[in-house]
Structure formats: structure tokens, C-alpha cells
Chains A and B, each alone.
Chain A
């Protein structure tokens, strides 16, 4: 099924006799769901773009690439840097705005500017009973009524099928610089990354590889802006990080470990993309991160967000949550064979709320049913 309009989509949902599996570009098959496939691809196109107001509105089926191209022409971008899951998940197809929003997909810059959900200004969607609903709008500040925009973002299609999203965009940057430290232990790296993030120098990406490409540990801190500013801040960060070692600086590199491409690889977790095993994504308190990784017995690990995000490749079929025990955060099985819930089980009081909300918006339980369990 490929509805061309909200009305058509509403009719299809009302007429559905069984579960529906909602698909944008089909590049992020996270979680298990079955049923007739409902494609959002026909509800596409940019309906409004005002560079001076930093806002863009487009159909859920619009390819992200199309949006990014349009933004680049005005020297703007999606600042939360949405990850492209294709390499990691071995999928083809075109990532769409709807899929990005439904999975709240962000990248390394999340640590400084916020997640996809923080840039979402408005949604239109059709719920499980065929109601066409809008929330938020296309202005940057809006507290009119409840914020269903946040609720729908990251709801993986379980509350409704997104038909349109509006987003805040930001200016592109002139220059990228990267400050790099080599050979740090995980615990040292967390310390260095926290120092960088706790400084006034506005790191916009802070990642650590226990085994970088060269085989040694690599810690990366990104700074963005006008060239003179990037050079200045990179120097300041190098001074600040002296206790952790002699930092190397690259400003405006077109290739290599400090370049924009290297950050795209951080974003897309390409370091573990080609390897077999289960892939887990763990959101944690940065100061807990090294301790959590020590419990994982992982084949490969990548830290992002200054340690707040851990990507782990582990043996197939393992319940990583059992190894981690209780911690401040959550673990999601992004790719894998483990017979465990994809999403982190919630405490009873919170689970009662989410179950209640699902039942309200999709009483028949037909939208991506089972995907978030």
C-alpha cells in the first residue's frame, strides 16, 4: 500500500484487517514487526523552506538527501546530523524524513546542538483509528498545547503514521577542525572528553575508539565555525587536554582522521558495519561508560557523545542487558539475533503510561505492532 494523501492513508488504516508495517525508505529495520507494508514514499516533497526563518516543511516520504541538497544550496543543514543506517544494517533504499523522525535519528553533533527531537517543530500524522492529527507547527517557539511532536518523534510508528514533518535547520559551517589524542585508555578518554565538553570551546563532536584504524586508541574532538575561530579553539582545547597527552590538530582537512569524512564514519558507525555479530546502542551517563564497556566483553566498541553513547559489537545471541545490570540509561538492540526485547524494558510505572498511550492512539494495535517491545 502506498497512499498518496493523508485521506487515502486514513482510509487504508481504517480498512486494515491486520497489522501494518510502516516503511519510509526501508533503511532502518530496527525491531520486529510484520504485516502488510505501508509505504510512505508517495507523500513526499518540500512544501515550504524559509532559509531566513531556519525552517523547512516536507512530506514524510521525502528523501533526506533531497532535503539536504536543498538546504546546502542555501548554506544550511540538518544540524543534528542524522545517521545513515545503511552500512551498519546492510540495507538499501533512500532514508526518508519520516523514518528519521520516527526513529529519532541523530549523529555526533547531538551532544552539542540536540537530537532530532530537539529540531522537530511540527508533525502531521494519522493515528491507528484513521484520525488525521497535527501538532506543533513551523515556528521555533511553540508551547501551544501538549507537545505531541516529541512524543511522535522516536515512537517508531507505533502511535501513528507520520505524513509531514517540519524542522528547524541551522547555518552550515565554514570550517571543521579536529583535535586528536592517541593511546588513551577508555577511562582516560572519558576524562579527556568530559574536559572538552565542560569547556567554553564548544566541541560539536566528541568520540573515542579504543581501537582506531591504526590499531591504537583514538580520541577525537570536533570544533566547527569560521576558520580563525576553529584554529583558536583547537589550540585552546589542545592546551586544556595537555594532562591527557600531546594532541594533534587538523583544521580544514579534506581527508584522514580529522576530516569531515572521518566524522561521517563516526556518525554511521562504519567501524563495526562490516563485521558480524549483534550491534547494541547504549545511552549512558558518560562517567559510567568505561565501566559499562568493561562488563560487555565486546568485539568492538565506539564511544560517541563524550561517552554518553556507546556502540558495541558483541557475539550473536547474547543478552547484553544481563551483563550490564542496572544503570542510568538504556540499551537498544539495533541489529541482531538475541532473543530479547529490542528496546530497553521500562520500570512498571512508566511502562503503564506507554502502554496506555499506545492503546489510546492505536487501540487495535495494528501500527508497527510489537516493534517497540
Chain B
């Protein structure tokens, strides 16, 4: 994975840059010692590392604005960072950049149950947003797997999803307003406690822009009252085609579960060895969860179980109590950890039309043999968001490259069948060089034109999202 060569003139001005930043930030908020900047050298895509020039930890919008104004004036690249949980390398530094971390900004600014929103500083973690409102029975819906650690800032940058977005939507569907600081330090208020834009939907384009348009310091998020209850069922089938048909039949029957999760045999085997959730050994396992009162859940599950039973299941299991519900989810929630026990893995998140599931799984199985690398599939089946986990050995020379090549082939396949490269993790550096598979030059030009307006000098996180050749002229200008 290529990254642009650092700007020597920036590297040579490190002392001046640190001094200027220290004028507007408390002493402990500027990190420049090489032993300490190393802590910011990567995010959750750990295969790539590069310590930044320095890192800053501002505490509020004013400090973020000061930092960006100074960096803009001095021509210093900036890479924003939430909690550093990006699987796509969205927060990977360059040697000539200032890492702008929002970790100190984790206050709740306002909670309003009457109007059903919460306003937070964006360094706050996803789960602690729900934590701030759950005593009143409310929650924040998007639930990425990393929700214990990931920050709202990163969720907004990547438009993060989660297992329950079939019903509740992803970040962009739950984001009402932001305070955005532009690269030149300008503070822009967008949206608020009301719905929809009064003019162009700028909020819509900021969400998912991977920290390339500005730094979001505060966000107004929609909160919802929790359902009365939720209950999962587990189904096992002897073929992924049949499991795919069950998903389709459930949706066509007019039932909209909150989650439909899918696991294939390699994943089930790994999970069983690791978590011992008591899953049946079969080709395809589905977890379907519905919400409501006890009686409503009974009624919906009755319909779902009838559909499931028509397709000759290996196993059908309904949770009878919270303990059983927990065990049904246990395996799914341990899947990544279980695969990690076997070896290093790379997690992809291409999305496909649900109808292509059997074909794509078959092709991935064939490719697995061709590349000689094992792969397990976990899948948000309701919305087509795949999570192939490719196993490789980071200590074996050439294995990472082979794995990346395999991953690229899977993502190309996703696009070929009508899907996309990434459903919820973002492009970052990981899928940057594949953008040309999904988009024509005119499509990419239109996207880059947007960055031109927000960040004309291309100083913000500029080496991400767009293939380096495509963005070269703009970055060099």
C-alpha cells in the first residue's frame, strides 16, 4: 500500500509547528516526542504504521479551530482521529501530518427527551451515548461491533452501521446536526434539533466523508425509546442457497426483523471451538431477531418459524429466556475473536444484493482454494453487508500481500454482482486503490470537486479514499 512521500519542508519545520500549536493548546495536549507519537502510528488496520509529526488533543471547538487555522497557515497536513478503531486505515498518519485526536472531547452537551435528541462532543464513544440516556429508557441506534471503543466522530466519518440497521438505519439516518470546523478554522453549524435540510443537504455529504471535509466537533443525534423486548431465533441449513431463500421469504412475508445475521461453516466451526455457543454444524446458520411486547414477539416468531420450517432446517431454536437469547448471540458476537484465535485475519465489508448471496459464497469458496487462504463469512443478511474474514499469517513473508490480493478479488466480485466495495467500514487506504472498480473517472471527479470546496489545499486526510494517481494533481497543488 503506497502512501505519499512526506513533505520535507514540513518535516524540517517540526519545532516551529509544535511551538505554534503549543500557543493555543495546554502543554499536555501537544504530543511531539517520538516515543509518544508512536501511540498514534496506526488504527485498527495494524498492518500499516507510520508515526505522525505530532499529535494534538484539543478539548473543544475553539481549540480545534485554532489548530486547523495554524496548520492551514503553515501548510501542514492534518489527519483527524476518533478512537482509532478504523478497519480501513482511515486514521493512518503520514510522517508529515498532525494527528488531531478528539478523545478529550467526550462531554454530553444536552439531552432532550421531549424532542428525542442528544448533543455530544464527538470524542464520546458510541456505547456511552446510549449510556447517557438509557436510565430514561432511550438508546442511540447505530451499533457498530466496536461500539464500546469507537467514537461518534469516527462513526460520522465512516457513516458506521451495525447489526440492527435493517430496522434503524446507519449513522446518516440518525444524525441531525453537526458543528464542523473547516481546514481554515471556520466553524460551520449544520442542521440541529429539527429534521431535514432547509437548503442543500450538506449534512448528508459530511456523513461518510472520512474526515476529508472538516473536523466534526459536536453532533446532535436522534435517540429512540427502547422496545419493550427483543428475542432471537437460530436456524441451521444445509446450503447457503436455502438460507438465502429463507431470508427473502421472511422479508417478502411483510416481517421486518431488527437483525438477520448469517454465518457459514468455517465461521461456525471456528466459533464453536472458541466460544462453545452450541451452534449446529451446518453450511449456513441464521440468527433472526424481532422486537416488541412478549405477545408481539410470539406472533412474529410464529410466522418466522413457519417460514423457516418449510425449508427443511437442520435446526430451529427459539430462545426461551434471556440466557438462551444470550447464547444464540454469543457465537455471532465472538466470531471475529474466534477467527483471530486461528490466525491473523483481514475483515472485508463489501455489500451485495441479497439475491447474489449463494453465487458470491460459492465463488469465495473457489477463490479460497485458488489463493490457499481460509475464509469465513459473517454477514448482515438482511441488508447484504458481507464480512468475509480472510485468514493469513502476518509473520509469513508475502502472506499479507496474498491476502490483500484475495480481498481485492472478493470486493471486485461484490461490485460485479451489483454491490459495492464497503458497506460500513469506509474506504480509507484499504479500498482506496479499488475505487476505480466501482466508479468511473467522472464519478470520482465529482466527489473530489466536493473536497475542493471544503478543503481547497487538500490538507485534510488527503491520501485516503481516492486512488493516489487520481488525486495527485490536487494534492501537489
Contacts and interface: CB of A to CB of B under 8 A. Distances in A.
Interface string A120-155: 000000010001111101111111111111110111
A115 B161 CA distance: 18
A53 interface: yes
B418 A138 contact: yes
A168 to B, nearest CB: 9
A221 to B, nearest CB: 14
B130 to A, nearest CB: 15
B198 interface: yes
Nearest to B197: A154
A148 B101 CA distance: 27
B1 interface: no
A345 to B, nearest CB: 9
A143 B189 contact: no
Contacts of A65: none
A149 B203 CA distance: 12
A285 B419 contact: no
- Size category, B interface: 35 or more
A150 B204 CA distance: 5
B227 to A, nearest CB: 5
Contact of A329 (B169, B198, B253): B198
A83 to B, nearest CB: 13
Interface in A309-342: 309, 328-332
B5 to A, nearest CB: 25
A80 to B, nearest CB: 11
A357 B228 contact: no
B114 A141 contact: no
B357 to A, nearest CB: 10
B252 A52 contact: yes
B207 to A, nearest CB: 7
A347 B199 contact: no
A171 B443 contact: no
B192 to A, nearest CB: 5
Given A154-B197, A155-B200, A344-B199, A353 B453 contact: yes
B2 interface: no
Interface string B443-477: 11111011111100000000001000000000000
Contacts of A232: 293, 295-296
A139 B352 contact: yes
B154 interface: no
B423 interface: yes
A287 B420 contact: no
Given A141-B161, A144-B435, A145-B447, A343 B196 contact: no
Contacts of B195: 110-111, 115, 283, 305, 308-309
B163 to A, nearest CB: 11
Interface stretch (A193-201, A208-216, A252-260, A266-274): A193-201
Contacts of B199: 330, 343-344, 346, 350, 354, 372
A199 B225 CA distance: 6
Nearest to B353: A53
B193 interface: yes
A151 B200 contact: yes
A148 B446 contact: yes
B287 interface: no
Contacts of A127: 446
A134 B205 contact: no
Given A283-B195, A332-B198, A354-B202, A51 B252 contact: yes
Contacts of B352: 139
A172 B254 CA distance: 6
B445 A131 contact: yes
A204 interface: no
Contacts of B385: 140-141
B434 to A, nearest CB: 9
B208 interface: yes
Nearest to A160: B446
Contacts of A172: 254
Contacts of B205: 146-148, 150-151
Contacts of B435: 144-145
Given A171-B251, A308-B194, A147 B295 contact: no
Contact of B196 (A117, A133, A350): A117
A361 B166 CA distance: 33
Given A114-B169, A131-B446, A350-B188, A75 B431 contact: no
Interface in A152-170: 153-155, 158-159, 170
A52 B355 CA distance: 7
Contacts of A343: 198-199
A229 interface: yes
Nearest to A75: B254
A331 B115 CA distance: 19
Given A147-B208, A283-B194, A154 B201 contact: yes
Interface string B279-320: 000000000000011011001100000000000000000000
Interface in B356-396: 380, 383-385
Given A140-B383, A331-B198, A350-B202, 6 more contacts: A117-B201, A138-B418, A146-B205, A146-B209, A147-B172, A287-B115
17 contacts: A51-B251, A106-B196, A114-B173, A115-B195, A115-B196, A117-B201, A131-B446, A135-B443, A135-B447, A137-B438, A143-B208, A144-B421, A144-B438, A155-B200, A171-B256, A287-B112, A350-B188
A-B pairs, 5 with minimum CB distance: A150-B204, A330-B198, A52-B248, A141-B423, A329-B194
